[in-house]
Structure 1
Amino acid sequence: MSRRFPPTAVDWLIAAVMAVFGLAEELSERTSAFDHEQSPWWLIAVLAAAALVLVRRRAPFTVLTVYSLASAASFAYFGDLAAAWQFYTQLILLFTLVSEVPPRDPRTVGGLVVTGLFIGSMMLAVDQHFGPGDMAVAVVMASIAGGTGLAVWRHRQVALQAREHGELLAREAVAEERTRIARELHDVVAHSVSVMVMQAGAARLMLRPDQLVERETLTVVEEAGREAVEELRRMLGLLRTDSSEDGLAPQPSLARLEDLVEQVRAAGLEVELTVRGEARPLPAGLELSAYRIIQEALTNTLKHAGPARVTVTVSHLPRTLNLEVVDDGPRNGHVGPQGAGHGLIGMRERVALFHGRLATGPLPAGGYSVSASFPLAMRVSGERPAD
């Protein structure tokens, strides 16, 4: 099925060049031959050929076939009409067909057949001037046009496969990061639900014997909580891909940033940690995501910048939690999220989970910046902040 290509500036340019070349050649031949009485068939032929060149990519096989058969018919009828512009037009149309249609497609084979018919009819029309050498040159030029078109088609296929492979890897990376985030958040949610169950049980034990309705309600809460924890454990069993991960280790939080900074300093980075504002209790999942973003940013700096100076800033604002990790080192070819591995993908997923914002990229003066913002008002009001 042919794609519908609108003519581009290059198409218009090629068509215009072929029209000028054809008109110049025909005028030169007719002026030198003092032929002023013949009908202007050549003007119509040149303009029609230029029009076909202009729209050749819309239906390459149809255009090539129409031009080849029309040219062969004109050669057979007039006998002496073969010109250089006609042959070059044929080469352009052949190149377009082979570069747009798969090699094993019947249209490609048909295009080669009609090109052979074109060359044969051109040779017969000017047999007194068309020797074996000219025939060989014509075949070689047609082969070059077809071979170049085939190389272009293969290059496009390789580029397409590479793009599809990259998109597949990106989707797999996103799925992997989401699974990793789900595993981490499982322990946070399970812990919170377990606390709720224990609090409900403690409250039930404190009730008076006559508070039957309240006792029944808290019993239902306990049972539902235990079922929820059990279901979370089953879900985690599906998400676990590494049997060594038992989920018993405590999940990190912003309170453990100093430990993280010390580890990174030991690896060779000069890290300065600044905490602004008054820290207050935050949802455990949000703290975990904030910690992981800073961890991934520092890891990327170690990988792509080498020894460098890094500034980590955590700002506790009334309505947002802002994170910023800035380094002053070269990136060794690392230019941003599109060229990154799973680290920046994980950052985007964690920020999106809490409807936050993430900005990453090189700095004008050198170095790299990772900035994330988590809205806090929505945790109280339940409303999503305006974009």
Structure 2
Amino acid sequence: MRTASPSPRVRASLRALGGTLATPTQPGEPLLAQASSPWLRRLPYVVAFAFVASLLPVTVTVLVNDYEVNGAVAGALATGQAAPLLLAVSRPLQAWWMILAADVLGALVLLGADGVAGRSWPWTPMIVVGYLALMVAVGLREPRRTLVGVWLVTGAAGFAFELVSQARSDGIHLLLFVLAGAVLLLTASLRERGDAQRRLVEQETISEAERARRTLLEERARIARELHDVVAHHMSVITVQADSAPYRIEGLPEAAREEFSTIAASARESLTEMRRLLAVLRSDGTEGERAPQPGLDRVQQLVEATVRAGVPAELSMPAELGPVPQAVDLSAYRIVQEALANVVRHAPGAPTRVSVTVADGRLTVLVVNGPSAEAGSPLETSGTGHGLVGMRERVRLTGGTLDTGPLPDGGFRVAARLPLDTEEPA
């Protein structure tokens, strides 16, 4: 005859219960307090109440009818031996002291009772059942040294009564000693297994984070190598050729010489920025950049370089802006730099106006260009959009806003508003 196997839901519930029992809790926190299911969190109280509700009346009845103990005394003993099981849900060690004291007091009371002959002493069967339930709670919460102490005290109390009256003892103290040790060993093993699994999960999490960090550093190093081997190399070649062109080509007009000089200066500045970027990519993130970052004080140089590139640009910026946070200063410079670069690439010759103002605790950066003034095609007919994405990221980091879009006359507008009271990154 085949027996029906538990349903998947029941098996999943049992696995969840076992895993939650093995999960350590803080002192004073109820058992299963970290369970995700509400019924699992209430389960220890339900089980403890069931033990109390069943043991208390049975203990009173047995003590009165079988052991011939006074009813009031029997009620007090039954309450002391069963009620602390409710406390064992959150504070099992304190409950153990209370129950042990009540059990010892009950054994002393039964020592002078008339109905002890032929019945279990010093512990009654109800004491054994309640004590083993208590050992489950103690074993799931207390460290191994405490469990050994609880087990030895339990055995010592039983053997002490054995020495007091060997004639009354029937060996139940030895049974409780063995069963309590077995329950403590089982529950302690379950708890320690849960501790080991938790530490393993924590170690795996740390290892995964380290692997992710190592992967990131490797990718940054690879990007740095590519930038150094490709971009930096070509920029160096451009710098050398632009510097040597006036000496290699005879009869160059003065305007061409100035143009080559401008190209060389721009290439050298790009190489400086590239070296700073390579230093950041090759670092592990523990040290910041040591070189000063560009800011609004260099916007004038950007506009002049744009004019030399053939774009009629003008700048409107007050002489004194007041204190500007470093993050806002750098972000404003990069936004102007990217906006002017877009004009040179996509709208060569377009009249451009750059405006930097401060009002109401905000720095406003406005770059507006008209339609391209040259009949030829732009230097780049399509873009990746990475420049605008970078602008938005910088504005978002400082808590500002960015407004970009085409104008009705065919031009383009970039407006960024950056708060001046933003907290600078460490």
TM-score w.r.t. the length of structure 1 is 0.50
TM-score w.r.t. the length of structure 2 is 0.46
Q: Which of these two proteins has the greater Rg computed from alpha carbons? A: 2
